[in-house]
């Protein structure tokens, strides 16, 4: 069961409008930032003040409309005379989280901080986008039929975006340079290869980016860049993050909530079901291709309704589950961690 932390934020989420900024804890505030149409309506950015009056921005948001000016105004309000943000702490490389980091660096010399794996993934994306034959390899492996090939190819290439370079690379377990705070890096791969969560060890806050959204199962392996199976990495990350159940979850979208362990179990449970579904298809028809398998799975709006990037995402998911089943590792994908069925949720 998850419980929203802020009523006004939850209300705004349910009505699809931008919530008001709010104080989260001592020296920590939310700053909801608008997104492009067709994406989630807003990203939750967070402003964190350090012991010297400097401000650090977790995921400054998309570089569009007046987001930059809204951010500047918020910084001027709380920056104790130091409105230039010291660092932009990025949970992952997607533009709804990172877009404004480049603007902050240009205007204020803000240090952009990213996980080392995410930096590597950016380089891989760049190669991948430059070389269409790599994308075609995936499509051929999935056995995409000729009449849908162009559509899948276009959207598979379009999902790789490089937005910002980093000034500082961090690793799992690092303490960030935020005076007066113990803000530690937790590598949480799955959504992207170098996704990170940040835990404020004293105030028990978990800045979780897109890893543990309250009402949406995050896309896994969203734009390539993984040498391993992203699904296995994600399940391991869920198991790991479930240990932070005493923290407030400062989610990157939707709303902040308590109930991290239950949410991690519920998401893992969904994946477990999907794996079982794929296993059943492959038991009935061992030679089924990824495309043929995907056609036989249950999709929210039905297989026929899946087009464009939804279709690419469905094929990627199916390929990951298929690889897990074919490897035989699905029987112990969770190790000793047994995800429980979700309990009835009030929120």
Binding-site ranges for Zn ion (CB under 5 A): 96, 210
Which lies closer to Zn ion via its Cβ, residue 116 or residue 195?
A: 195
- How far from 45 is each of 77, 120, 254, CA to CA, in Å? 16, 24, 11
Distance CA 195, CA 252 (A): 12
Q: Please, what is the minimum distance in Å from the beta carbon of residue 48 to Zn ion?
A: 19
Order of strands across the sheet with 196-200?
A: 3-4, 257-258, 248-251, 205-209, 196-200, 183-187
Q: How far is the CB of 97 from Zn ion (least distance, A)?
A: 5
Looking at the Cβ atoms of 50 and 210, the one nearer to Zn ion is 210
Integer Cα distance of 183 and 198 in angstroms: 6
Min separation Cβ 190 and Zn ion, Å = 13
Closest CB 276 distance from Zn ion, rounded Å: 28
Query: Considering beta carbons, is residue 9 or 49 the nearer one to Zn ion?
Result: 9
C-beta of 21 vs 95, nearer to Zn ion: 95
Are 103 and 110 a contacting pair, CB within 8 Å?
A: no
Q: Decide whether 103 or 208 has the Cβ nearer to Zn ion.
A: 208
Report, in Å, the least distance between residue 96 CB and Zn ion: 5
**Both structure tokens of 245:** 């159940």
The residue count of the chain comes to: 347
The residue with tokens 């001027």 is 76
Question: Is the CB of residue 308 less than 8 Å from the CB of residue 151?
Answer: yes
């Amino acid at each position: 069961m998850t419980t929203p932390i802020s009523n006004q934020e939850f209300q705004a989420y349910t009505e699809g409008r931008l919530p008001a900024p709010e104080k989260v804890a001592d020296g920590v505030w939310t700053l909801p930032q608008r997104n492009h149409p067709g994406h989630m309506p807003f990203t939750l950015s967070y402003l964190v003040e350090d012991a010297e009056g400097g401000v650090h921005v977790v995921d400054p948001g998309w570089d569009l409309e007046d987001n930059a000016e809204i951010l500047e105004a918020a910084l001027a309000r709380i920056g104790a005379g130091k409105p230039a943000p010291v660092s932009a702490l990025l949970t992952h490389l997607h533009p709804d989280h990172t877009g404004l980091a480049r603007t902050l660096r240009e205007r204020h010399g803000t240090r952009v901080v990213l996980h080392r794996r995410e930096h590597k993934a950016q380089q891989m994306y760049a190669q991948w986008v430059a070389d269409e034959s790599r994308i075609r390899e995936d499509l051929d492996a999935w056995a995409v039929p000729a009449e849908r090939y162009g559509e899948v190819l276009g959207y598979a290439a379009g999902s790789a975006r490089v937005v910002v370079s980093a000034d500082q690379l961090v690793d799992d377990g690092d303490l960030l340079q935020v005076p007066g705070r113990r803000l530690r890096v937790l590598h949480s791969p799955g959504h992207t290869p170098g996704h990170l969560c940040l835990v404020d060890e004293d105030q028990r806050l978990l800045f979780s980016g897109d890893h543990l959204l309250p009402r949406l199962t995050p896309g896994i392996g969203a734009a390539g860049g993984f040498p391993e199976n992203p699904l296995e990495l994600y399940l391991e990350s869920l198991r790991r993050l479930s240990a932070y159940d005493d923290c407030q979850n400062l989610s990157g979208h939707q709303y902040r909530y308590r109930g991290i362990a239950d949410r991690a179990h519920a998401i893992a449970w969904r994946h477990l079901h999907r794996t079982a579904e794929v296993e059943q298809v492959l038991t009935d028809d061992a030679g089924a291709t990824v495309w043929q398998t995907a056609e036989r799975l249950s999709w929210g709006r039905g297989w026929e309704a899946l087009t464009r990037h939804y279709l690419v995402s469905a094929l990627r998911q199916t390929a990951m589950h298929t690889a897990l089943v074919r490897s035989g590792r699905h029987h112990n994908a969770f190790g000793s961690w047994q995800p429980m069925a979700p309990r009835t949720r009030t929120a």
